[in-house]
Amino acid sequence: MLKDEYKHKGLRKKLVKELIEKGLTSSEVISAMEKVPRHFFLESAFLEQAYSDIAFPIGDGQTISQPFTVGFQSQLLMIKRGDKVLEIGTGSGYQSSILCEMGAKLFSIERIKTLHKNAKAILDFMGYKAELFLGDGSLGLKVFAPFQKIIVTAGAPLAPEPLLEQLDNGGIMVIPIGNEKEQVMVRYKKDLSGNVTREEHGIFKFVPLLGEKGWKTTSVR
């Protein structure tokens, strides 16, 4: 049984204070990060790591993103309550739960079955109504498009075309783009006539986005 006790809340408050000092400013993101227990997404032995500003292994060679990165990507997305949001790379489900807490109607895709199943179990336990899928997220989720916001939580070689197509007019997509070692955080904005502009927001390090429009394999594990 997962518990969120006084000591966890204290650790979380301290972590969020550190994120604010590092430049997190959105009050919606800050309050979601104060609420969501990050220790639910790691094994219980890793309490200290859960409340440190670090990425951490979650199995299958993947990581739960660094809290600052989660906050920063969420902030760049400028989520409004009720936005239909597509996330590529569910991973542990931590970023997903922050988006749900912010009022997103979330669709999230993960290519690794064990991660997909674990994330689904935790999000259900927490009472979030996200739609989680197993598959190749580099192709997006055409049947549910368009999305007001799209977030990619793995490093891509290029912005996958299907994702740009599935972005609604007036929408925002945040995606790390670069090589397999480091990426630039890119924010695409699609205006109401469908024209796309691109901004860059610093260097980050993500595991690679695989799949047909990512780095390599098309298979789902």
The answer to whether residues 200 and 194 touch, using CB atoms and an 8 Å cutoff, is no
What span, in angstroms and rounded, lies between the C-alpha atoms of 178 and 169?
25
Q: State the catalytic residues.
A: 65
Q: Hey, what amino acid is at 186?
A: V
**Sequence-separated (6 or more) residues with CB below 8 Å from residue 113:** 134, 220, 221
Which two tokens mark 83?
């936005």
Tell me: does residue 89 bind ligand SAM (CB under 6 A).
Answer: yes
CB of 214 to ligand SAM, least distance (A): 5
Confirm or reject binding of residue 64 to ligand SAM (CB under 6 A).
yes
Tell me the two tokens of residue 109: 């895709």
- Pattern of binders to ligand SAM over 134-173, x per CB under 6 A? --xxx--------------xx-------------------
In this structure, are residues 89 and 152 in contact, taking their beta carbons and an 8 Å threshold?
A: yes
Q: Does 62 sit near ligand SAM (CB under 6 A)?
A: yes
> x/- binding map, residues 97-136, to ligand SAM, per CB under 6 A?
------------xxxx--x--------------------x
Find the part of the chain contacting ligand SAM (CB under 6 A) among 21-29, 85-93, 163-171, 197-205. 85-93
Query: How far, in Å, CA of 157 to CA of 76, rounded?
Result: 20
CB distance 56 to 75 below 8 Å: no
Least Å distance between CB 91 and ligand SAM? 3
Q: Rounded to an integer, what distance in angstroms lies between the CA atom of residue 61 and that of residue 123?
A: 21
- 3-state DSSP call for residue 113? helix
Q: Least Å distance between CB 43 and ligand SAM?
A: 14
Which of 26/138 has CB closer to ligand SAM?
A: 138
Strands 196-204 and 147-152: unpaired
Whichever of 158 and 194 has its CB closer to ligand SAM, that residue is 158
Residue nearest to ligand SAM (CB): 89
Contact between 42 and ligand SAM (CB under 6 A)?
no
DSSP β-bridge partners for residue 59: 62
> Nearer Cβ to ligand SAM, position 92 or 148?
92
3-state secondary structure of 213: coil
Q: Where does this chain bind ligand SAM (CB under 6 A)?
A: 62-65, 70, 88-89, 91-92, 94-95, 109-112, 115, 136-138, 153-154, 206-207, 209-211, 214
